[in-house]
């Protein structure tokens, strides 16, 4: 049965980070997901189509670039569902950016720890947690989901600052 | 005075034998840092109109402010000059200990001009550079030259040398040092050959290691950098992370599955049996030991053994790019013959990427009847490949034409379309139909097609710093600019590209601030990178690479990919270029004066 990884506010709406959902296409899996968690309906769909602001990935590829809701799924397939990042929170999953390093910078910038993975900064609250590492061939790259609750311009500036600190490349 | 430097650079004139010394201008150090950035500044000042093979061309051998320190992954040395392959400014970097020893010998760089009448080598020791006869070394391979000079000057001596390819002005000849690390691309070894410069011997000991200006900040900066490189979850983690275990060649199986591996001169985008030349296979079947560079815990270098016709050959550098170029691109995946070809390229002193492209272009030309000489070879002809590599190094037969570079060869036979080149330099091991970001990165690279100016697979494959769809073009222009600027800066420190898989602007800023002895911000780091990238582009514009110079081979734009993962894809270059130029503030590939002024390039050029 296909697996569905849920991120950010989708976890709050379902109380789960991963589910197994039956279906032979992306559309069938999402319909079955909505049947189990009706609050997801307006997040995922606009009419009969996939909501523009939501991101659904199959093996790292946005299904919009595949066959959309008709994209066939094998029983071993894994879908990643990301909520929209705009409207209340800015979020991004950063690769190779360890949580202890982000904590170190949040403290340096005057952040106050409110709980595990939650920091208060002037004008913003930052939440972060490790999610499933990205596995590609013999490589495994740790992934850190970071969300900044935006409270005006300060929140956006903090998000940019975190994104700059997380900038990496390679070669 | 900024810390981290020897504050001494030698100007060597090989025509007159004169050597002078000067302290680099502190303003130049703050604006261009060292390594690639400072080298580009000096090459720019030397004038963009110079003929690359003229004695007037400047060959700059540079280290950076963190070279020779305990900064992790700081073992890179930059060679900067005007490229005889492309006519652009070029920089190429080698690992090992040469950069560190150059600092310990008392230098931030060597600026070499002129041309000697007879072969010479330089000895760099105790703050002095002396010129020595190299007549007995001329004609020898890089391996022989390094061995002889180390015996002559002691095991503590570090040697970088050119081989027969450099002597014979093969336009993609390179430098190889005694650790078998190459400053591979752009033909910097041929520039040395034109000056009759066979080798540089550097003698230095670590008691001359520069100390940080702010020791307390250094402790913190080094602790953070070490912790993130060694973080067991990171790909850089010693003995655990994929890059440490398999080296660069961990990518072979990945790009093959993605349909992003150009094969048969990019007529296809994958190959049967890629596993046989992959990092995983080499580790299991051919690995002798993991080698490393100065101050590097990752140890991505792999000493291997291959077996050819009853002989065993031991060498380093079964790298991803080399294995692709001399294996998959040439239509085979033979573990031993590919390794042998890599070994020979290093011995002759030729860039494996360009050499592999030369072989692949000749193979396509032969199969299509575009080249009908008796020494033509077909895809998969491993022994023929070895013959042609030798013919290139010694400029024999078709090798003489190929030594001019695959782009010139293809043009000479009337089929420029089969050369997979940008600005005269051939592509590395990523097909831009399966990794769209590589398309814009190749097209806009200031040194011709290159994966190291902006390594978009970090994002498209590895999700670093964030995941992007490899088959989507949107956002790749912006991503490319970020990577180009970040790499221009790290190439100037000069730190290994792999450090970027674990470190970012915050960690680099802290380390540089501790050495410089003044605050450095992450924003300043990207600004410096942007300045260097724009200065290079300005140089190229003045050298004749103007509007329309950012192109891709037609094959990637018109012939769809034929392998799973990217089947049917072409590269949407025009759309990406539009986005990229907008991000850069360039006008069709040309840097406008306002941008040069904004970055302090034009006013400084005018001041000088």
SS3 track for B581-592: HHHHCCECCECC
A52 near B CB under 8 A? no
| Residue A46, strand partner residues | A49
> What letter would DSSP give residue A25?
B
Taking contacts as CB-CB distances below 8 angstroms, the residues of chain A near B523 are: 164
Q: Which of B203, B198, B195 is nearest to B349 (CA)?
A: B198
Residues A106 and A47 in one domain: no
- Give A97-154 as a DSSP string: --HHHHHHHHHHTT-EEEETTEEEETTEEEEEEEEEEEEETTEEEEEEEEEEEE-SHH
> What letter would DSSP give residue B209?
P
Whole-number Å distance between alpha carbons of B583 and B44: 24
Whole-number Å distance between alpha carbons of A52 and B230: 40
- Taking residues B277-294, what's their average pLDDT? 96
CB A61 within 8 Å of CB B460:
no
Residues A71 and A137 in one domain: no
Asked if residue A171 is part of any domain, the answer here is no
A170: closest chain B residue by CA: B500
CB B505 within 8 Å of CB A164:
yes
Count: domains in chain A: 2
Q: A169 vs B455: CB contact, 8 Å cut-off? A: yes
| Residue A78, strand partner residues | A3
Q: A134 vs B463: CB contact, 8 Å cut-off? A: yes
What's the confidence (pLDDT) of residue B285? 96
Asked if residue A141 is part of any domain, the answer here is yes
Residue ending a domain, choose from A59, A82, A105:
A82
- Give B112-165 as a DSSP string: EES--SS-EEEEEETTEEEEEE-TTTTT--HHHHHHHHHHHH-TTEEEEE--HH
What's the confidence (pLDDT) of residue B607? 52
- Taking residues B17-44, what's their average pLDDT? 98
A66: closest chain B residue by CA: B471
pLDDT in tens, B536-578: 999 999 999 999 999 999 999 999 999 999 999 999 999 999 9
Taking contacts as CB-CB distances below 8 angstroms, the residues of chain B near A170 are: 455, 457-458, 462, 464, 497-498, 500-501
How many angstroms away from the CA of B222 is the closest CA of chain A? 13
Asked if residue A71 is part of any domain, the answer here is yes
Residues A13 and A43 in one domain: yes
Q: B457 vs A100: CB contact, 8 Å cut-off? A: no
Q: How many CB atoms lie within 10 A of CB B27?
A: 12
How many angstroms away from the CA of A95 is the closest CA of chain B? 4
Average pLDDT over all residues of chain B: 97
Taking contacts as CB-CB distances below 8 angstroms, the residues of chain A near B275 are: none
How many angstroms away from the CA of A122 is the closest CA of chain B? 20
For residue B506, give the nearest of A93, A105, A171 by CB distance: A105
> Which position has the token pair 């702010």?
B214
Taking contacts as CB-CB distances below 8 angstroms, the residues of chain A near B245 are: 138
Is pLDDT of B332 > 60? yes
The SS3 call for residue B312 is: strand
How many angstroms away from the CA of B389 is the closest CA of chain A? 26
Residues A74 and A111 in one domain: no
B463: closest chain A residue by CA: A95
Q: Which two tokens mark B542?
A: 């003045």
> For position A61, which CATH number holds?
3.10.20.30
pLDDT in tens, B64-81: 999 999 999 999 999 999
Q: Which two tokens mark A83?
A: 């909520």
For residue A164, give the nearest of B224, B246, B522 by CB distance: B522
Residue ending a domain, choose from A82, A105, A137:
A82
Interfacial A residues in 115-134 facing B (CB < 8 Å): 133-134
B473: closest chain A residue by CA: A65
B28 phi, psi to nearest 5 deg: -65, -40
- Taking residues B112-139, what's their average pLDDT? 98
Asked if residue A147 is part of any domain, the answer here is yes
Residue ending a domain, choose from A37, A60, A82:
A82
What's the confidence (pLDDT) of residue B483? 98
Is pLDDT of B350 > 80? yes
**Interface residue of B275, B436, B482, B506 to substitute, partner A, most A CBs within 10 Å:** B506
> For position A119, which CATH number holds?
3.30.1370.80
* Among A8-22, B25-39, B290-304, B308-322, the least confident range: A8-22
A144: closest chain B residue by CA: B466
What's the confidence (pLDDT) of residue A64? 77
What's the confidence (pLDDT) of residue A63? 84
Q: B501 vs A96: CB contact, 8 Å cut-off? A: yes
Taking contacts as CB-CB distances below 8 angstroms, the residues of chain B near A143 are: 463
Q: Which two tokens mark B106?
A: 């008392």
For residue A171, give the nearest of B254, B280, B455 by CB distance: B455
How many angstroms away from the CA of A160 is the closest CA of chain B? 11
CB A85 within 8 Å of CB A45:
no
Whole-number Å distance between alpha carbons of B87 and B103: 30
> What letter would DSSP give residue B435?
S
**Interface residue of B463, B474, B490 to substitute, partner A, most A CBs within 10 Å:** B463
> How large is the angle between the packed helices B476-493 and B35-45, nearest 10 degrees?
90
A41-48: Cβ within 8 A, 24+ apart: A43/A10, A43/A13, A43/A83, A44/A81
Residues A155 and A109 in one domain: yes
Q: B502 vs A142: CB contact, 8 Å cut-off? A: no
> How large is the angle between the packed helices B522-542 and A153-165, nearest 10 degrees?
70
The rounded percent of chain B whose pLDDT value lies above 70 is 99
Residues A59 and A103 in one domain: no
How many angstroms away from the CA of B34 is the closest CA of chain A? 20
Residues A58 and A126 in one domain: no
Asked if residue A170 is part of any domain, the answer here is no
Sort B238 into a burial class: Cβ within 10 Å, 0-12 / 13-18 / 19+. Answer: middle
Q: B504 vs A97: CB contact, 8 Å cut-off? A: yes
Q: A169 vs B279: CB contact, 8 Å cut-off? A: no
Q: B464 vs A95: CB contact, 8 Å cut-off? A: yes
How many angstroms away from the CA of A32 is the closest CA of chain B? 26
Whole-number Å distance between alpha carbons of B320 and B291: 16
**Beta carbons within 8 Å of B143's beta carbon, 6+ residues apart:** B176, B180, B346, B347
CB B447 within 8 Å of CB B88:
yes
> Which position has the token pair 């073009």?
B473
Instruction: List, in order of start, the domains of chain B with CATH numbers.
Output: 9-208 (3.60.9.10), 246-426 (1.10.569.10), 448-551+572-607 (1.10.599.10)
How many angstroms away from the CA of A39 is the closest CA of chain B? 28
A164 near B CB under 8 A? yes
Residues A75 and A9 in one domain: yes
B136 phi, psi to nearest 5 deg: -75, -15
Looking at this predicted complex, what is its ipTM? 0.91
How many angstroms away from the CA of B176 is the closest CA of chain A? 20
Q: Which spans in A40-113 are helix H? A: 41-44, 99-108
Asked if residue A23 is part of any domain, the answer here is yes
Residues A15 and A68 in one domain: yes
CB B170 within 8 Å of CB B29:
no
Taking contacts as CB-CB distances below 8 angstroms, the residues of chain A near B501 are: 96, 168, 170
| Residue B113, strand partner residues | B13
Among left, alpha and beta (phi > 0; psi -120 to 50; other), residue B554 is: alpha
Note if the bond before B465 is cis, omega within 30 degrees. yes
Sort B50 into a burial class: Cβ within 10 Å, 0-12 / 13-18 / 19+. Answer: middle
What's the confidence (pLDDT) of residue A146? 95
For residue A139, give the nearest of B242, B505, B506 by CB distance: B242
Q: Low-confidence residues of chain A, pLDDT below 70?
A: 8, 52-53, 60, 84-88
Q: Which two tokens mark A159?
A: 């998000």
Q: How many CB atoms lie within 10 A of CB B524?
A: 16
Q: How many CA atoms lie within 13 A of B168 on its CB side?
A: 23
Whole-number Å distance between alpha carbons of B464 and A169: 6
Range of the domain at A54: 3-82
A94 near B CB under 8 A? yes
Whole-number Å distance between alpha carbons of B239 and B298: 8
Give residue B148's pLDDT band: very low, low, confident or very high (50, 70, 90).
very high
How many angstroms away from the CA of B451 is the closest CA of chain A? 7
The rounded percent of chain B whose pLDDT value lies above 90 is 98
A107 near B CB under 8 A? no
How many angstroms away from the CA of B501 is the closest CA of chain A? 5
Taking contacts as CB-CB distances below 8 angstroms, the residues of chain A near B500 are: 168-171
CB A58 within 8 Å of CB A77:
yes
Taking contacts as CB-CB distances below 8 angstroms, the residues of chain A near B254 are: 136-137, 139
SS3 track for B26-55: HHHHHHHCCHHHHHHHHHHHCCCCCCCCCC
Q: A93 vs B464: CB contact, 8 Å cut-off? A: no
Residues A111 and A74 in one domain: no
Residues A93 and A109 in one domain: yes
Show the beta-strand stretches assigned E in B43-155. Answer: 59-62, 77-82, 89-94, 109-113, 120-125, 128-133
* Among A46-50, B221-225, B411-415, B525-529, the least confident range: A46-50
Taking contacts as CB-CB distances below 8 angstroms, the residues of chain B near A167 are: 465, 482, 486, 504-505, 522, 526
pLDDT in tens, B160-184: 999 999 999 999 999 999 999 999 9
pLDDT in tens, B418-435: 999 999 999 999 999 999
Q: Which of B109, B101, B94, B127 is nearest to B41 (CA)?
A: B109
| Residue B79, strand partner residues | B61, B92
Residues A77 and A140 in one domain: no
Q: What Å distances lie between residue B30 and B77, B489, B528, CA to CA?
A: 19, 12, 9
Whole-number Å distance between alpha carbons of B584 and B592: 10
């Amino acid at each position: 049965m296909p697996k569905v990884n849920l991120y950010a506010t989708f976890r709050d709406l379902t109380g789960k980070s991963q589910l197994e959902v039956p279906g032979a296409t992306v559309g069938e899996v999402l319909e079955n997901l909505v049947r189990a968690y009706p609050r997801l309906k307006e997040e995922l769909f606009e009419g009969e189509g996939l909501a523009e602001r939501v991101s659904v990935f199959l093996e790292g590829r946005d299904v919009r670039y595949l066959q959309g809701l008709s994209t066939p799924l094998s029983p071993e397939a894994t879908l990643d569902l990301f909520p929209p990042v705009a409207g209340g929170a800015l979020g991004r999953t950063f690769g190779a950016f360890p949580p202890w390093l982000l904590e170190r910078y949040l403290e340096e910038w005057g952040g106050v720890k409110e709980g595990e993975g939650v920091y208060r900064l002037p004008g913003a609250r930052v939440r972060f947690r490790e999610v499933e590492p990205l596995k590609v061939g013999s490589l495994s790259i740790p992934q850190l989901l970071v969300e900044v609750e935006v409270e005006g311009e300060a929140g956006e500036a903090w998000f940019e600052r975190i994104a700059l600190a997380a900038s990496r490349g390679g070669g | 005075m900024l810390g981290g430097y020897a504050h001494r650079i030698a100007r060597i004139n090989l025509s007159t034998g004169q050597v002078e010394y000067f302290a680099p201008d502190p303003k130049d150090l703050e604006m261009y840092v060292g390594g690639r950035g400072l080298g580009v500044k000096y090459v720019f000042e030397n004038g963009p109109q110079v003929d690359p093979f003229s004695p007037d061309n400047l060959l700059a051998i540079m280290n950076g402010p963190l070279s020779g320190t305990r900064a992790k992954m700081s073992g890179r040395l930059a060679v900067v000059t005007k490229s005889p392959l492309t006519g652009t400014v070029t920089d190429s970097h080698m690992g090992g200990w040469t950069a560190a020893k150059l600092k310990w010998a008392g230098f931030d760089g060597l600026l070499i001009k002129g041309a000697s009448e007879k072969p010479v080598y330089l000895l760099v020791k105790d703050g002095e550079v002396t010129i020595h006869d190299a007549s007995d070394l001329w004609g020898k391979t890089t391996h022989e030259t390094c061995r002889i000079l180390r015996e002559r000057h002691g095991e503590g001596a570090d040697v970088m040398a050119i081989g027969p390819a450099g002597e014979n002005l093969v336009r993609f000849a390179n430098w190889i040092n005694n650790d078998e690390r190459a400053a591979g691309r752009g033909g910097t070894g041929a520039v040395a050959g034109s000056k009759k410069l066979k080798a540089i011997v550097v003698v230095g000991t670590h008691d001359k290691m520069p100390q940080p200006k702010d020791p307390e900040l250094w402790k913190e900066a080094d602790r953070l950098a070490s912790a993130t490189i060694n973080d067991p979850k990171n790909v850089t983690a010693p003995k655990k992370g994929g890059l440490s275990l398999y080296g660069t060649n961990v990518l072979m199986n990945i790009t093959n599955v993605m349909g992003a591996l150009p094969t048969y001169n990019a007529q296809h985008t994958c190959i049967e049996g890629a596993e046989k030349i992959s990092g995983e296979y080499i580790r299991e079947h051919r690995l002798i030991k993991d080698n490393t560079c100065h101050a590097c815990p990752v140890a991505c270098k792999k000493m291997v053994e291959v077996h050819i016709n009853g002989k065993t050959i031991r060498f380093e550098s079964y790298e991803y790019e080399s294995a692709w170029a001399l294996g998959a691109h040439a239509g085979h995946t033979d573990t031993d013959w590919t390794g042998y070809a890599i070994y020979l390229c290093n011995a002759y002193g030729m860039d494996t990427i360009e050499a592999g492209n030369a072989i692949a272009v000749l193979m396509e030309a032969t199969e299509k009847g575009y080249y009908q000489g008796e020494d033509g070879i077909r895809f998969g002809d491993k022994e023929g490949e070895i013959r042609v590599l030798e013919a290139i190094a010694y400029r024999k037969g078709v090798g003489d034409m190929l030594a001019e570079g695959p782009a010139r060869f293809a043009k000479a036979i009337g089929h420029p379309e089969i050369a997979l080149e940008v600005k005269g330099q051939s592509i590395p091991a990523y097909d831009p139909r399966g990794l769209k970001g590589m398309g814009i990165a190749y097209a806009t690279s200031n040194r011709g097609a290159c994966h190291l100016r902006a390594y978009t697979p970090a994002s498209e494959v590895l999700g670093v710093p964030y995941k992007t769809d490899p088959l989507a073009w949107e956002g790749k222009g912006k991503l490319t600019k970020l990577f180009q600027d970040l790499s221009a800066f790290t190439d100037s420190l000069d730190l290994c590209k792999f450090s970027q898989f674990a470190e970012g602007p915050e960690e680099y800023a802290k380390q540089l601030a501790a050495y410089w002895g003044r605050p450095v911000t992450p924003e300043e780091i990207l600004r410096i990178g942007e300045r260097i990238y724009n200065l290079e582009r300005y140089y190229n514009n003045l050298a004749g690479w103007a509007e329309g110079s950012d192109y891709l081979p037609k094959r990637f734009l018109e012939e769809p990919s034929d392998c799973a993962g990217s089947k049917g894809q072409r590269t949407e270059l025009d759309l990406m270029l539009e986005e990229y130029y907008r991000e850069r503030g360039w006008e069709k590939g040309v840097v406008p004066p306002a941008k040069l002024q904004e970055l302090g390039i034009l006013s400084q050029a005018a001041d000088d």
